[in-house]
Chain A
């Protein structure tokens, strides 16, 4: 899959992709839209981006239903950005963690209900699965030319990386002096943090990536050592930083940069460490859903989200602060761009996805589940 993303397609992979496209569509969903390709006319310019959607028709549809893994404030923030640009399209959303959200959409579709226009997930594994099941609408956005292939689905047109969530180490600067602060990933194993260190629960795609990458770099024993520290695990980055800023935890092993910016702006005594090995990072992927009740609005949203304008919104909203993979995207509010960071993420996403069961067992076991 990594090869696919890098544009190095093998014959076997091309055949596989072809099979997926022409396979009996999941619940009878995929084939017609795949064949249609969603490109029936030349793109038009709306605001400052290009779209294949019929904007007048999208406004006539008048609605956009969005399923999103992001927290309430973040999801509302995404919808707010789109609504500002297209006030005639009323937005609504459902948010849940990726696992629950994905299960919900599969249950709905298996019952013949198609209420969703666009879905955003925080993990590539369910995105691959959804693509395989024919759940995505195949729509090649004119804005996708601004993206590297590795940040688009293979083949292009199913989903794209709307942002990246990078994480390093964060600590409470009132509890830990700069000289004592961790400098690299191995420093999180220090016994000083026992009972005062936090991480995320197994539903987090980012936590999965961190487990996968650090295990690859430091070996199986890394997380076994980490487990001895009896870390506290939470759902969201906000909870991690909330506890960190109040001193309930001294450090967090998975300090997300967007949360760091947010809490720093509130005056929290927290500091961020970018380990020399790199920041672990996970993509947040967006795609139009097929049999959408508002197909033109869903295409318009994908184009908007892919555009420089949409990416700027994703990057600057305090409840999102996603780092953009679009090379020409502006800098984040802190003045840094994603390219300023060294990132750690799987080079082979299929191999990564295959480790899911091991991760769940180990991580849940470590947390006493």
Chain B
């Protein structure tokens, strides 16, 4: 009993300790954001001199922007979920040839960054100068074949490069699923499609829903793709409108904050729906009963599935990277260059840029720190919310999801104001970026780990408790080993997300704490698309090398047998 008493205390202390950290990380900057949203005084004076709701009333002036945002976000989310689910099922559940290789390649569009995807597809799909349209015209056509500057073009690129997180989240779920349930369905005569619809889909439903909410929020806050592809067609979404508002003089930061804060409402509704779905059903697939993950033999269908994988990776990896490489070798990127248009100057210039070198090493360092600290913090938070049975866990979930609801471009202002006045001088240093990343990626990490955690039967932990195991011992010997695939996926996701982070970093970078993605955006603004393509390729290469090494390490960890 004494042991049980101690266990309860340790659980409580750890739970509330972690919740307090998350609360400070999120609510502290949110306070400043709310303050700005209601600030109706002099826009250049801080702290605010007057409060009101004028900034929210001003939002009524932007109905077209709201509609554009909704159109693009919904279209991109649907595409991303379809791609994510299909690819996750093919690669995690079937015997498609080369699935291990494809699974690794699936992470590539995610770390290529949306900016690079947008840049590559911009080179490919501009109505006039796009490579695809150039070839199309060379074949005799009078008009263009594709126009990437439309709402569906933007959604397509967003789904390819922002939505690949859906694959990672859904695949992690599918890997943890006992195939006996699907086999039982087929044994009693159900077809493969019926099995997918009646067994697979419902079992992964909370994870898919979680991924849907997460991806939708990502799309709402997506910036780089809409910036590169939307501006040429005067197609503005919330983030690009906010960007304009904060760049101009005098900046409309208060209206931008109100725009960001108003997205809280959208997020709360979706989160409420998610919780209702999760709480109303049982989605446990990992129980005390042992199972060995087995693949579904899809027969000759596997070659068709292989074709789908190849097409997907062609559109999201090969074509964009090939395009960027082709562009990087030219002075002015065109589809049919003359001999004198070829140059290696872009590579020469990129390699000699000191700022890029230091930005790249800062990014890798930050990514490693964010992923490592983040997995511990977010793993504990996920456990606290879904397993802790502590009072207020629902509230903590809402708090954790806050950063997802606001475009990072806006949330960064809250972070800046919050940590600017903090007594410990971290402003302008890498520490601030680390705190910012841990804050803005809380939803990503918690959602990823929670998706797997929901599949673990509570009875396993309860069994250990009945045997007298303390809380810490239970977490170490039961929960963490079972969560291992989810934790590894979360670590990699956080690592990649940190390297590609743009919205918050743009504002929070100091003179000595530059990171790579904003530097590439700067290059796109200020140098040329050819040099930007070169920088993107170099970034991709370096990050790829880092990830290959990290995957090797994490695979070793994952390969250790469950206790």
Contact = CB atoms under 8 A, between A and B. Distances in A.
Interface of A: 65-66, 70-74, 76, 92-100, 102-104, 106-108, 110-113, 115, 123, 125-126, 129, 201-203, 205, 230, 232-236, 238-239, 242-243, 245-248, 266-268, 319, 356, 360, 364, 367-369
Contacts of B244: 201-203, 364, 369
A319 B526 CA distance: 8
A23 to B, nearest CB: 15
A251 B527 CA distance: 20
15 contacts: A71-B527, A72-B355, A72-B526, A73-B526, A76-B355, A100-B507, A104-B507, A112-B421, A126-B250, A232-B233, A235-B247, A242-B528, A245-B332, A356-B249, A368-B236
B236 A369 contact: yes
A12 B236 CA distance: 46
6 closest Cβ pairs, A-B complex: A71-B526, A72-B522, A92-B511, A246-B129, A203-B247, A99-B249
B505 interface: no
B424 to A, nearest CB: 13
B529 interface: yes
Nearest to B427: A113
Contacts of A97: 247-248
B247 A246 contact: no
Contact of B420 (A76, A99, A108, A245): A108
A65 B6 CA distance: 53
Interface string B323-359: 0000000011110000011000000000001010000
A239 B330 CA distance: 17
Interface of B: 44-46, 62, 64-65, 126-129, 231-234, 236, 241, 244, 246-251, 253, 331-334, 340-341, 353, 355, 416-417, 420-421, 427-428, 506-507, 509-512, 519, 522-529
Contacts of A112: 421
A92 B282 CA distance: 56
Nearest to B234: A368
A99 B250 contact: yes
Given A72-B355, A106-B44, 14 more contacts: A71-B527, A74-B526, A99-B249, A99-B251, A111-B427, A113-B427, A126-B250, A232-B232, A238-B527, A239-B525, A364-B248, A367-B236, A368-B234, A369-B244
Given A97-B247, A201-B247, A230-B234, A369 B527 contact: no
Nearest to B45: A110
A104 B341 CA distance: 41
Nearest to A234: B231
B523 A73 contact: yes
Contacts of A108: 420, 427
Nearest to B334: A246
A115 B509 CA distance: 13
Contacts of B523: 72-73
Given A71-B525, A266-B331, A123 B249 contact: yes
B129 A247 contact: yes
